Amino acid sequence: MANLYVKKFDMINPFVIASSPATQGARNVLRIAKCRPGAIVLRNFGHGAGGGSFIGPDANSMYTGKQAFHSHGIGTRISDPVDTLEKYCEEVRKIKASMDSDIKLWVSVGHYSDIVKGGNWEKDWINQAKELKNAGADAIELHFNTPGVATAKNRSFNYYQLIYNCTKMMKKAVPGMPIMVKLAVEGCDPFTSIRVATEAGADSVGPTARWKAFYFDLDWRGTQARPGGGYGGTQATPIVCHSIVETRNAGIDTPMYAGGGVFSFEQAARIIMSGSECVQIGTLACAGGVSACSKMIKDLEKWMDANGYADMDSLCGDALKLFNMSSDIANERTELLGKAYKEAQVIEDKCIGCERCEEVCWHEGIEMVDGKARKTDLCIGCGYCFQVCPTQALNVDASGILASVFKKHGI
């Protein structure tokens, strides 16, 4: 079986259960720990609980790895019974005493609302970090990802300066304690955030794609998503992957635990293959529970076995070869697929005469004859019609053609 051990984090696998309702208090942490992740982030104390989630188009889409999105829902919210640092530290001790010792426990320090409210929050954060280190936490997480945090900061002061100063502050307060900095993608330049956190000495960075959004039904009175709540989903994964690639291509090798829209092993694999050693699970942990997270871990292991990835080192960053391919290879792939598009003819028996292909052809390269699509000599091989054909009457092995170029060049 593939070895999921992550050397840079000294973790049994690359999955980090993110700070969330699933990690609120010792009871929930010990419950989600049954899925055996590499690390769990204990949620900030005094955060409040409840509220629920809204999954679109439905929860089954999330469970089965299809395209899906998540927003904060409308449900009962209650106060956090763990409302003091003393109680929070006691929760840490309970977890460390009962949880499998090979699962890391990270703890969140502070919250962006502390800064917005003002007061001596720096002193409070330093005190929290020191007490949590003494309680047995394995790492401290600075949580600068709450939806709206970057925008709120830039309206008050410089978000990047906040990241830098707080990271330096934590490194000085608890020397030897790993400082993980969870960063926003919304309302800022993710690369700059990562660079600034790295310069400040962060032991790891976690760019995470969540936004404040306004999702609503057209019959808006019955909308279940919370207006202005946190929003994310599978559509966010490519955005996070680009931030990862940009960082790695700039030569920044700070260990990373990125996240955003990770509802199946496929999204997890994409984030890791972009260059992030670890991956966060948030929504799936809250709305899928132990079984969904366990399945993701097992599915990644099976997929790695089936596709020749022996360990995490061989998987991490592997897709950078695609992003960074030479212009010669990129042109060769384009020319080869374009030629295949141009030469392929309509399979008449499969054509249902829907006219979608003709609708999207902007070069008069296809026409309808007796209710069937037919190529013309004006086809340039752009591929629009192949993408919209519902019956594969227009079909080429696009993936095989594109992959053949890499194989030809030994990549």
> What are the residues whose beta carbons fall under 8 Å from the beta carbon of 45, sequence distance 6 or more?
80, 82, 83, 84, 85, 87, 88, 91
CA distance 400 to 16: 34
**Token pair 């020749």 in the structure block, residue:** 308
With both helix axes pointing from N to C terminus, report the angle between 159-173 and 190-199 in degrees, rounded to the nearest 10: 30
- Residue 193 structure tokens: 């955030």
Q: What is the pLDDT of residue 80?
A: 87
CATH fold, domain 15-321, is TIM Barrel (3.20.20)
Domain boundaries, the chain: 15-321, 326-408
Say if residues 315 and 309 touch (Cβ distance below 8 Å): yes
Interstrand relation of 179-184 and 104-109 (parallel, antiparallel or unpaired): unpaired
DSSP symbols for 18-40? -SSGGGSHHHHHHHHGGG--SEE
- What is the token pair recorded at 133? 């280190």
CB 210 within 8 A of CB 260: yes
What strands lie across the sheet with 179-184, from one edge to the other? 204-208, 179-184, 139-144, 104-109, 39-42, 15-17, 278-281, 257-258
What pLDDT, on the 0 to 100 scale, is given for residue 389? 97
pLDDT at 149: 64
> Which pLDDT does position 53 carry in this prediction?
87
The sign of the torsion formed by the CA atoms of 361, 367, 368, 374 equals negative
Token digits of residue 299: 């599915």
Pairwise CA distance, residues 255 & 272, whole Å: 11
Cβ 120 vs Cβ 30: under 8 Å:
no
* pTM value > 0.85: yes
Please tell me the distance from the alpha carbon of residue 185 to that of residue 201, in angstroms, as a whole number.
Answer: 20
Furthest-apart CA atoms within the chain: distance in Å: 80
On whether the CB atoms of residues 171 and 147 are closer than 8 A, the answer is no
Q: What is the pLDDT at residue 328?
A: 97
Contacts with 350 (C-beta within 8 Å, 6 or more apart), sequence order: 391, 392, 393
The β-bridge partners of 179 are: 140
Q: Are 372 and 353 in contact (CB under 8 A)?
A: yes
Residue 114's pLDDT is: 77
Residue 227 makes CB contacts below 8 A (sequence gap 6+) with 214, 216
Q: What is the DSSP string of 317-381?
A: TTTHHHHT--HHHHHHHHHHHHHHHHH----GGG-----HHHHT-SSS-EEEETTEEEE-TT---
Query: Which residue ranges in the chain fall short of pLDDT 70?
Result: 146-157
Question: Residue 67, SS3?
Answer: coil
Per-residue model confidence (pLDDT) at position 153: 55
- CATH class of the region 326-408: alpha beta
Q: What are phi and psi of 208, to 5 degrees?
A: -135, 130
Tell which residue, 54, 53, 51, has the closest CA to residue 78. 51
